[in-house]
């Protein structure tokens, strides 16, 4: 099946006697048993038919063997870390999602697991930090919010030469734009709170794997730790997935228009978007992904100017997260990435991140235009 077809063509209700065309929500904790026959389901923590449909669907979209859904992206990442044992070592991208950094720095040490952060755009630098105990290499590409691109294929080869798992957090682009398992990743992670759910109405997380042995371990962890996504949330996630392509194609088109607008604007110092032809890793990005995504970051050169822009915009809600239907604006240093200690953040304080929704590009551009104009005038007045 091709990409648009597979979003909506799947069995919505396996074994359902009424052949429901929308997946039934099995809102039940328990299932009746037979004394001498095994029922496919017994307890929702261990398995639920609504969850199985969405897990199969996401595994199919990521070209994996098996999918798992969790009650948040962080629960998915925590389950990934469950593959590790005391004494193991992790290598991860330097500009990681703040919550992932917190997990590495404040939860893993208690389990006797160490980690090293490295610029994963630099293959030699990554090669240099492998230890005999390294079991996992975890990256995000593009990174958030600076949109640095790491080479998925080369890093996969490097991880496997060192007998480590290679995991890619694919939240930023979703399988609609990038399929890391096809490029050598063993494990794909998502915060499904973002593009996969797509409506800012659930928190959810995903793991997809290729290898049945890893799948078995993740299934054990999901059941043992009780972090699977609840049936109603599974249903909302499944509904969101059906429009993944429609949403992302539109959001990306508008993001491209806005990136080009910001790029030529006099009051903007620097724009970060892999779709811009002068992005330093433009070619690598388009070798491994189909599109540039829906998030743009930019610097104004002044924290005060950035704050004024955020105060002045009307169509961009000041909010963390991305991948929702309405556009959002965020000051990463103060918001989404505040949990990373300042000395490690390496983010310009004036950096603004835009998450583009499905509004009219003209409206968004004129809103940014008036906010930039007003704030720049104000800034001059203050100076």
Ligand X SMILES: *Cc1c(COP(=O)(O)O)cnc(C)c1O
- Considering Cα of 264, then 270, then 273, then 275, what sign does the dihedral take? positive
Query: Which C-beta is closer to ligand X: that of 161 or that of 346?
Result: 346
Query: Which C-beta is closer to ligand X: that of 143 or that of 375?
Result: 143
DSSP code, position 239:
H
> Catalytic site residue 194?
yes
Residue 28 Cβ vs ligand X, minimum distance, rounded to whole Å? 25
CA separation for the pair 103, 123 (Å, rounded): 24
Query: Which C-beta is closer to ligand X: that of 171 or that of 294?
Result: 171
Residue number of the CB closest to ligand X reads 73
Going from the C-alpha of 70 to that of each of 265, 312, 381, the distances in angstroms are: 42, 37, 50
Pairing of strands 328-330, 317-318: parallel
Query: Which C-beta is closer to ligand X: that of 61 or that of 173?
Result: 173
Residue 330 Cβ vs ligand X, minimum distance, rounded to whole Å? 11
Residue 2 Cβ vs ligand X, minimum distance, rounded to whole Å? 27
Residue 241 Cβ vs ligand X, minimum distance, rounded to whole Å? 15
Lateral strand order in the sheet of 270-272: 270-272, 295-299, 352-355, 328-330, 317-318
> Catalytic site residue 45?
yes
For the chain, counts of helices (H) and of strands (E): 13, 12
Q: Which of 52, 95, 151, 169 is catalytic?
A: 169
Residues near ligand X, by CB under 6 A: 72-74, 97, 99-100, 140, 144, 169, 171-172, 191, 193-194, 203, 205
Query: Which C-beta is closer to ligand X: that of 44 or that of 171?
Result: 171
Q: Which of 51, 94, 148, 194 is catalytic?
A: 194
> Catalytic site residue 201?
no
As a residue count, the chain comes to: 383
CA separation for the pair 153, 31 (Å, rounded): 44
Buried b (16+ CB within 10 A) or exposed e, 230-253: bbebbbbbbbbbebbbebbebbbe
Residue 31 Cβ vs ligand X, minimum distance, rounded to whole Å? 28
Going from the C-alpha of 374 to that of each of 308, 311, 363, the distances in angstroms are: 8, 11, 17
Q: Which of 26, 41, 97, 115 is catalytic?
A: 97
> Catalytic site residue 97?
yes
Query: Which C-beta is closer to ligand X: that of 260 or that of 339?
Result: 339
Residue 100 Cβ vs ligand X, minimum distance, rounded to whole Å? 6
Three-state DSSP state, 226: coil
Residue 141 Cβ vs ligand X, minimum distance, rounded to whole Å? 10
CA separation for the pair 117, 97 (Å, rounded): 12
Going from the C-alpha of 55 to that of each of 66, 74, 105, 228, the distances in angstroms are: 7, 17, 30, 11
Q: Which of 16, 45, 154, 269 is catalytic?
A: 45
Query: Which C-beta is closer to ligand X: that of 205 or that of 291?
Result: 205
CA separation for the pair 121, 240 (Å, rounded): 32
Q: What φ, ψ does residue 170 adopt, rounded to 5°?
A: -100, 20
Active site residues: 45, 97, 169, 194
């Amino acid at each position: 099946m091709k990409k648009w077809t597979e979003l909506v063509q799947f069995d919505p209700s396996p074994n359902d006697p009424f052949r429901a065309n929308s997946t039934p929500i099995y809102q039940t904790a328990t299932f009746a048993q037979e004394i001498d026959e095994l029922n496919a389901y017994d307890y929702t923590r261990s398995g639920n038919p609504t969850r199985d449909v969405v897990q199969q669907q996401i595994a199919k979209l990521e070209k994996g063997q098996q999918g798992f859904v969790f009650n948040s992206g962080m629960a998915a990442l925590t389950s990934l870390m469950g593959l590790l044992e005391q004494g193991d070592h992790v290598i991860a991208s330097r500009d990681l999602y703040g919550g992932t950094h917190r997990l590495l720095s404040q939860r893993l040490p208690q389990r006797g697991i160490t980690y090293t952060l490295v610029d994963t755009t630099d293959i030699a630098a990554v090669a240099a930090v492998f230890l005999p105990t390294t079991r996992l290499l975890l990256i995000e590409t593009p990174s958030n919010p600076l949109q640095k691109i790491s080479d998925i294929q080369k890093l996969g080869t490097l991880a496997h030469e060192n007998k480590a798992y290679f995991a890619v957090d694919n939240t930023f682009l979703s399988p609609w734009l990038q399929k890391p398992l096809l490029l050598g990743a063993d494990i794909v992670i998502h915060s499904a709170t973002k593009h996969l759910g797509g409506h800012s109405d659930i928190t959810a997380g995903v793991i997809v794997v290729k290898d049945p042995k890893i799948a078995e371990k993740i299934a054990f962890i999901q059941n043992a730790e009780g972090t699977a996504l609840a049936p109603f949330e599974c249903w909302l996630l499944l509904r969101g997935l059906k429009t993944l392509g429609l949403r992302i194609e539109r959001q990306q088109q508008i993001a491209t228009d806005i990136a080009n607008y910001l790029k030529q604007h006099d009051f903007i110092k620097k724009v970060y978007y892999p779709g811009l032809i002068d992005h330093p890793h433009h070619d690598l990005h388009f070798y491994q992904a189909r599109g540039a995504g829906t998030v743009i970051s930019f610097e104004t050169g002044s924290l005060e100017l950035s704050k004024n822009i955020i105060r002045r915009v009307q169509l961009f809600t000041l909010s963390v997260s991305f991948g929702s239907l309405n556009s959002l604006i965020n000051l990463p240093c103060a918001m989404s990435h505040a949990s990373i200690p300042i000395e490690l953040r390496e983010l310009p304080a004036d950096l603004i991140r835009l998450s583009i929704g499905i509004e009219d590009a003209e409206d968004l551009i004129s809103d940014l235009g008036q906010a930039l104009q007003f704030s720049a005038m104000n800034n001059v007045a203050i100076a």
